[in-house]
Amino acid sequence: MSTLEIKDLHVSVETEDGPKEILKGVTLTINGGETHAIMGPNGSGKSTLAYSIAGHPKYTVTSGTVTLDGDDVLEMSVDERARAGLFLAMQYPVEVPGVSVSNFLRTAKTAIDGEAPKLRTWVKDVNETMSRVQMDPAFAQRNVNEGFSGGEKKRHEIVQLELLNPKVAVLDETDSGLDIDALRIVSEGVNRFREQEGKGVLLITHYTRILRYIKPDQVHVFVDGRIAEQGGPELADELEANGYEKYTAASV
Ligand code: ADP
Ligand code: MG
Ligand code: MG
């Protein structure tokens, strides 16, 4: 059972006109066993939150804290964050030239566990995990994200999630660019993960449709770098019906 705690987080990015504050005090606690959805209009800072938790160098935390089971995440290197049990799947996954999916997964697993997985069980695990998201085994020999379709990238994220089996998963726009079948397959993967004891999920999305498949315990609405409202799953239904207008109209 682990807890990801974000307290009064302020984050800036460097722009041509100097630093610009994007996150303006975000406070959020995800206890093990809980799934939280962050929703909000484009540009409200959702990805900035994910990148900040991931330790992306472009994002500067100017104040506030992020802890995992009391340990200071912001002090950790990107690798240390993964070893501590954080999994960050990004909205725009990068290509890794010349590295096959198979090698990438094995290297990540080895880095996190501190030892290489036993080859025979590992190959079986990879094959089973890939077949659960209906990926051809030949996919393992392709280079990471090179020429992947939107759906393949997202399925690959779920393969990573299942094989690396973190404590807390932060999933940014896992639903973007997916057709209805892929959305269901990817959602089932997230649900398999969270059905395990004590796992935390932070699901970031612009659309409500993924929340028909993955039922969040709590919904937070992001507007202009802050949480404007929070509630239970019914808040997502309300957003589906009414959109973000009532928040954005107030903030302009
Ligand atoms: P969301 O994911 O909610 O759509 P983002 O976190 O991507 O929002 O962006 C929030 C705001 O921060 C936007 O106004 C965006 O233009 C700005 N922003 C994000 N990253 C950068 C950057 N590297 N440089 C300048 N502005 C940025
Ligand atoms: Mg965006
Ligand atoms: Mg985003």
Asked if 96 contacts 104 with a C-beta cutoff of 8 angstroms, the reply is yes
- How many domains does the chain contain in total? 1
Residues in the chain: 252
pLDDT at 173: 87
Pocket lining: 174 vs ligand 1, CB cutoff 6 Å: no
80 vs 8, 107, 202, 231, CA distance in Å?
Answer: 23, 14, 19, 32
- What pLDDT, on the 0 to 100 scale, is given for residue 71? 97
184-236 pLDDT, tens digit each: 999 999 999 999 999 999 999 988 889 999 999 999 999 999 999 999 999 99
| Residue whose C-alpha is closest to residue 134's, from 203, 182, 176 | 182
pLDDT at 219: 97
Residue nearest to atom 15 of ligand 1 (CA): 43
Residue 141 alpha carbon to ligand 2 centre in Å: 31
CA 226 – CA 241 distance, rounded (Å) = 22
Residue among 21, 38, 48, 205 to mutate when testing ligand 1 (max atoms within 8 A of CB) = 48
**Whole domain around residue 198: which residue ranges?**
3-251
Residue-level pLDDT at 250: 55
Encoded amino acid at 104, one letter: F
Mean pLDDT by 10 residues, the chain (252 residues): 95 95 98 97 96 94 98 94 90 76 91 92 94 92 87 92 96 87 94 96 92 95 97 94 84 50
- Kindly report the CATH number assigned to the domain that includes residue 136: 3.40.50.300
ipTM: 0.94
Question: pLDDT value at position 118?
Answer: 94
State the pTM of this model.
Answer: 0.93
**H-type helices in 73-172, by residue range?**
78-84, 101-113, 119-132, 150-164
For a ligand 1 pocket test, name from 10, 16, 22 the mutation site with the most ligand atoms within 8 angstroms of its C-beta. Answer: 22
